[in-house]
Amino acid sequence: MTESLMNAADRWRPLTELLQALLERVAGELPGCLGAGLTVSHGGRPLQVLATAGVAEHLLPAQLRHGGPVTVADATGEPVTADELFGDERWPRLTRDDVPGADAVRGAVALPGFWDEHGAFVLSATLDRPPGSTTLPVLQRYAKLTEMTLVVAETATAGDPDQMLDLLASRAAIEQAKGAIMAVRRCPPEEAWQTLRRASQEFNVKVRELAIALVEYLGGHTATQPAGTPAIHPGAQARHAAERLWSAFAAVSS
């Protein structure tokens, strides 16, 4: 995570209050919820706790030390659920002894997300029962709000106007490409984002350049980019990656 975002949480009270309110709303919509939390990372750096509510204050640091749904979700990019948090063979080192007041804890769920091409977060909740059929959908509804909150915080505290504009331009390009992938694959936003990230890593191109190249490949013309932001110019490798990615989609759907 960038230093500006961490500093913002420490010194910008409105951001802290907004994140706290968001987590409390998540907890309020989940029956049996004992706490909710938000962890973030940036540029491949280790996860750090940004905000907590309830038992997450102690549980999230314990997961970062010993493993748990949050660390697995961050590593795999996939949602993680657990009917019995403690004693799960996926994170054998995490025990009740690590978490004060954990006697009532049973289930847990962790949902990964991203707010830019280098910034990742995990929204999580802990329950006094196994997760139900509505648990993950509730987190998914709040993931978009979490994403936009982090985007606003990052841009507002960047300090460098050029960095702010770069972030906004990247965000716009990625959202366009995600929309195209969601339409053809009939998949949720998280899967569309993961598809872009995996392709960018496979072809060694920036996500934002791949996103613009994909939009231009589909549209057959130069993509419209936000006025006043630095133009993103995809190179030959990004255009090749976009063509290969879309060909793979066509092959699967045919």
Give the count of beta carbons closer than 10 Å to the beta carbon of residue 247: 10
Per-residue pLDDT for 224 more than 60? yes
2-45 confidence digits (pLDDT tens): 455 555 555 545 677 788 888 999 999 999 999 999 999 877 78
- CA 228/CA 234 separation, integer angstroms: 18
Asked if residue 77 lies in contact with residue 194, where contact means CB atoms within 8 angstroms, the answer is yes
Q: How confident is the model at residue 191 (pLDDT cuts 50, 70, 90)?
A: confident
CA distance 10 to 20: 13
Q: Tokens for 87? A: 């004693």
Q: Crossing angle, helix 135-157 and helix 161-185, to 10 degrees?
A: 150
- Note the pLDDT tens digit of each residue in 102-149: 899 999 999 998 877 778 899 999 999 999 999 999 999 898 888 877
Measured CA to CA, the distance from residue 60 to residue 71 in angstroms comes to 10
What mean pLDDT is predicted for residues 158-173? 62
> What per-residue confidence (pLDDT) applies to 5?
56
**Rounded Cα distance, 81 and 72, in Å:** 10
What confidence tens digit (pLDDT) does each residue in 148-159 have? 778 767 666 555
Task: Spell out the residues 6+ positions from residue 180 whose beta carbon is closer than 8 angstroms to its own.
Answer: 214, 215, 218
Structure-model confidence comparison of residues 104 and 176, the more confident one: 104
77 pLDDT above the threshold of 70: yes
**Average pLDDT score, the chain:** 83
Q: Which of 156-160, 222-226, 229-233 has the lowest mean pLDDT?
A: 156-160
What integer pLDDT is reported at residue 14 of this predicted model? 65
Q: Please indicate whether residue 147 or residue 49 has the higher confidence score (pLDDT).
A: 49
Indicate if the pLDDT at residue 209 is higher than 90: no
Residue 122 bridge partners (DSSP) = 39, 112
Res 1: pLDDT = 42
The confidence score (pLDDT) of residue 160 equals 52
**What is the average pLDDT across 56-77?**
94
DSSP string across 174-216 = HHHHHHHHHHHHT--HHHHHHHHHHHHHHHT--HHHHHHHHHH
* CA proximity to 122, closest of 182, 76, 57, 178: 76
Helix (H) or strand (E) holding 15: helix 13-29
Q: Which residue has the higher pLDDT, 225 or 114?
A: 114
